């Protein structure tokens, strides 16, 4: 059916254009968030993986993954009618009646493309420090086609089987976060543990980067969630308020757990708590009240903080806690709609609003279906790629770091400021010190969070680092 451009709403169109740009900035924000949490020798490798996702997923989306996600009328997968973004003057299938769109179909494809970009980028936190770039390229391409596109169709497309059953996922708690979290654990299992984990400390090399990334994510997430209303009106304003409220509440919940458990609330915990809140409110922001978003944020912040200890107990090296934050947070947010969902906002009443357990059952089915499919399909894809190509960095490459070994670059030249003396008002440089050299010994021998030898820095008598807070030691070892 042809789209009637006479019904186009210019205000909605302007809001979706701005929201698309806001969602795009989240991927560089994620790159800084993850990049700050790895050692200095791996920061460019993490940034590169995230930026690569922006490129390859965008091209694949135009070629055919948009059509697989939103084309056709099958409940399991779309067709290829919109491949190459052809026939974009036609209405997006299923968006009729109460769900009719008043934005150009091409703009809807643009907005959804940004979701498709950041989802595989989230996986990189689970495989940090050890995924060869060539293998990563092949894996991400296949994953976008065979995992993201079908799940997006099931939940986001009105013709998808979970959507038709009444699944509520306003902006991607299952499609984006639970999906990526399950995939990250699967990839971590296929790749194996980082060398030296869990006995070596993998301390974040740049916590200010982590805060910068979290801030960019918080900012961009307003487009992610409020933009998913697909209009500039009451629903988008509710989603905006709920997003901010739950994020703030989750930050408080996370650092409260740290304070009572470890004796100190960490900056890293504050950043992680904010992201956990953003993840948890994503599926619920258009279905719950601001009061409900407070409870969802507090529960998610505390639950995700506690979940970071699981990987050490089960021996799965999910390096940057993608499972604890995105799988747990996304699944929890989707399930809690079954309790705090209300028709006063949108959607169906949950348990606390007299709706019984029907909605909770549908939400549970959605979460289980997405998580199981994502985990199993990712295991298969990663295993096939591993069988055909070398995807794990060698021992020497891991010791040298992703930046040098894979990209021939280093992020920082650690040279101290030149000393100067005053001579008639002019400064004269007296000496400089060579930059730090990459670590040559296995990471398990001694503690070196940056991954660089400090023997050539200054006099060579660098004092040992301060003791790690328990919360950081637990997450990065």
Q: What is the CATH number of the domain that holds 101?
A: 1.10.3430.10
Sorted by sequence, the CB contacts under 8 Å of residue 195 that are 6+ apart come out as 130, 395, 398, 399, 442, 443, 444
How many domains does one find in the chain?
1
Query: Do 21 and 104 meet the contact criterion of CB atoms below 8 Å apart?
Result: no
Cβ-proximal residues to 413 (8 Å cutoff; 6+ apart), any chain: 435
Helix (H, G, I), strand (E, B) or coil at 88: coil
Q: Is 434 domain-assigned?
A: no
Ramachandran angles phi, psi of 467, nearest 5°? -60, 145
CB 64 within 8 Å of CB 150 = no
DSSP output for 296-358 = HHHHHHHHHHHHTTHHHHHT---TT-HIIIIIHHHHHHHHHHHHHB-TTTSS---GGGT-TTH
The full length of the chain comes to 477
- Residue 112 domain-assigned? yes
Say if 119 falls within a structural domain.
Answer: yes
Asked, for residue 179, whether it belongs to a domain, the answer is yes
Dihedral over alpha carbons 389, 391, 395, 396 (to 10 degrees):
80
Q: pLDDT at position 98, please?
A: 82
pLDDT score at 12: 97
Q: Is residue 389 part of a domain?
A: yes
Query: Which tokens hold the place of 313?
Result: 């107990």
Q: Is residue 214 part of a domain?
A: yes
| Confidence grade of residue 346 (pLDDT, cut at 50, 70, 90) | confident
Give the structural domain span for 293: 5-395
pLDDT attached to residue 198: 87
Query: Which residues, in sequence order, are CB contacts of 246 under 8 Å at separation 6+?
Result: 277, 278, 280, 281, 284, 285, 293, 294, 296, 297, 300
Integer Cα distance of 399 and 444 in angstroms: 10
Beta carbons of 452 and 41 less than 8 angstroms apart: yes
Q: Helix, strand, coil: what percent of the chain each, to 5?
A: 60, 5, 35
What is the per-residue pLDDT for 269? 97
For 367-424, the pLDDT digits (tens) are 999 999 999 999 999 999 999 999 999 999 999 999 999 999 999 986 654 444 444 4
Q: 263 in a domain, yes or no?
A: yes
Tell whether 450 is covered by a domain.
no
- Among the residue ranges 4-13, 35-44, 383-392, 456-465, the one predicted with the least confidence is 456-465
pLDDT number for residue 477: 54
Token reading at 55 = 């490129």
Ramachandran angles phi, psi of 90, nearest 5°: -95, 150
Whether the CB-CB separation of 217 and 244 falls below 8 Å is answered with no
Number of CB atoms found within 10 A of residue 426's CB: 8
Phi and psi at residue 437, in whole multiples of 5°?
A: -100, 145
Residue reference for tokens 């030149």: 418
Residue 434, pLDDT > 70, answer: no
Mean pLDDT of 312-319: 94
Mean pLDDT of the chain: 89
Cα–Cα distance for residue pair 128/474, rounded to 1 Å = 17
DSSP per residue over 184-223, as a string? HHHHHHHH-PPTTTTTS----S-HHHHHHHHHHHHHHHHH
pLDDT of 475 reads 62
Angle, helix 358-388 to helix 328-340, in steps of 10 degrees: 170
- Rounded Cα distance between 424 and 182, Å, is 65
Whole-number Å distance between alpha carbons of 326 and 350? 23
- What is the secondary structure of 215-239 as a DSSP string? HHHHHHHHHHHHGGGSSSSHHHHHH
Q: Which helix (H) or strand (E) holds 100?
A: none
Per-residue DSSP letter, 265? -
Q: Give the per-residue pLDDT at 201.
A: 83
pLDDT value at residue 208:
97
Q: Quote the pLDDT of residue 347.
A: 87
Is residue 121 within 8 Å of 50, Cβ to Cβ?
yes
Whether 136 and 49 have beta carbons less than 8 Å apart is answered as: yes
- pLDDT, tens digit, 9 for 90 and up, residues 68-123: 999 988 999 999 999 999 999 999 999 988 889 999 999 999 999 999 999 999 99
């Amino acid at each position: 059916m042809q789209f009637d451009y006479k019904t186009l709403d210019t205000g909605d169109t302007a809001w979706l254009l701005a929201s698309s740009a806001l969602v795009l900035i989240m991927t560089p924000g994620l790159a800084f968030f993850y990049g700050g949490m790895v050692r200095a020798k791996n920061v460019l490798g993490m940034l590169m993986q995230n930026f690569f996702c922006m490129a390859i997923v965008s091209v694949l989306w135009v070629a055919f993954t948009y059509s697989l996600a939103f084309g056709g009328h099958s409940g399991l997968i779309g067709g290829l009618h919109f491949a190459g973004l052809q026939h974009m003057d036609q209405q997006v299938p299923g968006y009729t009646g109460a769900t009719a769109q008043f934005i150009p179909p091409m703009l809807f494809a643009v907005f959804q493309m940004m979701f498709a970009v950041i989802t595989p980028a989230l996986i990189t936190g689970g495989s940090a420090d050890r995924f060869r770039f060539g293998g990563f390229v092949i894996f991400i391409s296949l994953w976008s086609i065979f995992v993201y596109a079908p799940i997006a169709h099931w939940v986001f497309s009105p013709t998808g089987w979970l959507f038709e059953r009444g699944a509520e996922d306003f902006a991607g708690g299952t499609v984006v976060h639970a999906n990526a979290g399950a995939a990250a654990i699967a990839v971590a299992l296929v790749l194996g543990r980082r060398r030296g984990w869990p006995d070596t400390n993998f301390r974040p090399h740049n916590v200010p980067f982590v805060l910068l990334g979290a801030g960019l994510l918080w900012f961009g997430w307003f487009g992610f969630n409020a933009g998913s209303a697909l209009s500039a009106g009451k629903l988008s304003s509710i989603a905006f308020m709920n997003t901010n409220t739950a994020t703030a509440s989750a930050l408080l919940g996370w650092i409260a757990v740290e304070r009572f458990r470890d004796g100190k609330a960490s900056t890293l915990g504050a950043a992680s708590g904010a992201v956990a809140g953003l993840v948890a409110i994503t599926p619920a922001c258009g279905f719950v009240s601001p009061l409900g978003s407070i409870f969802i944020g507090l529960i998610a912040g505390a639950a995700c903080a506690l979940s970071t200890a699981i990987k050490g107990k089960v021996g799965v090296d999910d390096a940057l806690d993608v499972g604890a934050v995105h799988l747990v947070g996304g699944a929890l947010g989707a399930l809690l709609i079954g309790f705090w969902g209300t028709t006063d906002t949108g959607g169906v009443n949950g348990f606390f609003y007299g709706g019984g357990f029907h909605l909770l059952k549908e939400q549970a089915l959605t979460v289980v279906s997405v998580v199981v499919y994502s985990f199993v399909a990712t295991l298969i894809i990663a295993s096939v790629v591993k069988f055909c190509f070398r995807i794990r960095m060698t021992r020497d490459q891991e010791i040298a770091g992703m930046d040098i070994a894979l990209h021939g670059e280093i992020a920082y030249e650690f040279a101290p400021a030149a000393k100067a003396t005053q001579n008639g008002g002019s400064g004269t440089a007296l000496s400089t010190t060579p930059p730090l050299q990459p670590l040559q010994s296995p990471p398990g021998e001694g503690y070196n969070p940056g991954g660089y030898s400090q023997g050539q820095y200054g006099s060579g008598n660098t004092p040992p680092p301060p003791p790690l807070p328990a919360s950081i030691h637990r997450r990065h070892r």
